[in-house]
Amino acid sequence: MTAIRKWKPLHSQLVFDNQWCQVRQDTVELPNGKIIDDYFVHIRPDIALVLAVTTNQEIVFVRQYRHGVGKILLELPGGSFDPQVEDHLTAAARELEEETCYVAQQLTELAILYDNPVKDTNKIHLILASNAQPTGKQQLDITEAVEIELIPIQDVIGKIASGEICVSGTIAALFLGLDHLAKRSPS
């Protein structure tokens, strides 16, 4: 069996530079010696995705339009952040409050995932926010229009199975979060 080896970067250049999207073109040498001169990488900010659970054991969701797929989707609140400006827990708390009016005193990191490691540089930080409560301080971005939905924990798996919840990061956070909650609750 041949050991897996990393590709050797030979040259990189930024071919598109916008505040919302950057694209880098890499020239790389593969382990077999072949050269690829047009490997494009999307440079994207990290994302904090928040699984907020209320004191009534409901999960705080947002329903919003997602232009990339042209659909209105049910997902967990979250957003991008620059790890050199704020840490993932601060970003998670900010995004939760801005999108949903909810705050939580206890934030727990569930996992860090790669969104699309083939072409994207960013990570998704999955955060559990326990005992979330509304504050009334929603501050949506110009592109955001959201409906807040509280869904009882016991109904979530059915909504995944039916396809109503179909965003990969949200599903990962739900499974990890539900497992975490099950392990810490008394049997």
184 has a pLDDT exceeding 90: no
Cross-strand partners of 16 = 23
Q: Domain map of the chain by residue range?
A: 8-43, 46-184
Q: Are 92 and 74 in contact (CB under 8 A)?
A: no
187 has a pLDDT exceeding 80: no
Cross-strand partners of 101 = none
pTM of this structure: 0.91
CATH number for region 46-184 = 3.90.79.10
The enclosing H or E element of 159 equals helix 156-161
2 has a pLDDT exceeding 80: no
Who wins on pLDDT, 83 or 147? Answer: 147
Give the mean model confidence (pLDDT) for residues 174-184: 93
CA dist., res. 17 & res. 29, Å (int): 25
The Cβ-side half-sphere exposure at 186, using a 13 Å CA radius, reads: 0
**Predicted local confidence at residue 186, as pLDDT:** 64
Predicted confidence (pLDDT) per residue in 7-37, tens digit: 999 999 999 999 888 999 999 999 999 999 9
CA dist., res. 32 & res. 93, Å (int): 46
Predicted confidence (pLDDT) per residue in 72-126, tens digit: 999 999 999 888 889 999 999 999 999 999 999 899 999 999 989 999 999 999 9
Nearest to 49 by CA among 137, 140, 110: 110
**Predicted local confidence at residue 168, as pLDDT:** 95
In this structure, what token pair is assigned to residue 116? Answer: 């699309």
CA dist., res. 157 & res. 175, Å (int): 9
